[in-house]
Amino acid sequence: MNKRFKRFITPILLGLLCTVPFAVMESVNLGGIPDPFPYAIFLYLWLMFALFFMSLLAILRLAGSRVNKKERLPAILLNALVLLFTVMSLVYLLADQMPCFLGVPNCD
């Protein structure tokens, strides 16, 4: 398997594992799969979790590398910035959609 592909498969699977509980909560609390299933919300949630793990693993990989600190600092800061905005987006989306996941009727 290609080394670059292996680097992407872990965040993709971790993002999927973080998204599945919310889809299950919505399906169980609404008494089945809703008729207009919100694919866009779960796709966005999966992409944000995958980006979160991708940035986190990149920071951890850069922190353990043998490259000079001055050379890896911009990459670490950029990944930290992406991580910060990803977390902010995830928190906002989860706070906004939590009533829907918990089965509140007429949520938007």
User: Dihedral angle at the C-alpha atoms of 13, 19, 20, 23, nearest 10 degrees?
Assistant: -150
For residues 54 and 83, what is the distance between their CA atoms, to the nearest angstrom? 9
Please say if the pLDDT value at position 103 is more than 70.
Answer: yes
3-state class (DSSP) for residue 49: helix
Give the pLDDT band (50/70/90) at residue 108: low
For residues 79 and 106, what is the distance between their CA atoms, to the nearest angstrom? 38
Model confidence over 27-59: pLDDT tens digits?
A: 887 777 767 778 888 999 999 999 999 999 999
pTM: 0.86
Query: Could you give the C-alpha distances from 58 to 62, 76, 100, in angstroms and in order?
Result: 6, 8, 33
Nearest in space to 9 (alpha carbons), one of 48, 65, 64, 54: 54
Q: Where are the domains of the chain?
A: 3-101
